[in-house]
Amino acid sequence: MRIGELSRRTDVSQRSLRYYEEQGLLTPTRLPNGYRDYDERAVTTVRRIQILLSAGLGTSAVAEILPCAVDETVVLSGRCPELIDGLARERRRVNAAIDDLIAARDILDSLIGRPLHAIPSH
């Protein structure tokens, strides 16, 4: 399938698909006229890429994970257990960022509508 059809089927822009190719996440074949040609598996790969990116992973991490994703029904299978530690670290990083954001929100909540003299200094 051509890039326009892959874009329509995955709801991902053609620009993003070209970026995924630049990052080594997608590998279409090239037709004699230079057009990209994607096989049917590209639809699943793009969906997998989108899920991994939405989890906050960078394209380099996604590139490591994609070869471990051999089952069409799950994003990541147990084929590459060495990735589990890295994903657990990433989860801890996300949790720490969430904690920091909650603390910032709590401070903002305490500041809203309070007069300046009522704000504790640190």
| Tens digits of residue pLDDT in 34-90 | 889 999 999 999 999 999 999 888 999 899 888 887 766 666 666 677 788 888 888
At residue 20, the pLDDT reads 97
State whether CATH 1.10.150.120 applies to domain 1-78. no
Q: Are 52 and 37 in contact (CB under 8 A)?
A: no
Residues forming CATH 1.10.1660.10 domain(s) in the chain = 1-78
Q: How confident is the model at residue 97 (pLDDT cuts 50, 70, 90)?
A: very high
pTM: 0.74
Least confidently predicted of 26-30, 83-87, 116-120: 116-120
Task: Please give the residue that has the higher pLDDT: either 112 or 114.
Answer: 112
Give the position of tokens 């790969």: 45
Percent of the chain scored above 70 by pLDDT? Answer: 84
Cα gap 36→62, rounded to integer Å: 21
Mean pLDDT of the chain: 87
At residue 54, the pLDDT reads 92
Cα gap 73→44, rounded to integer Å: 9
At residue 78, the pLDDT reads 63
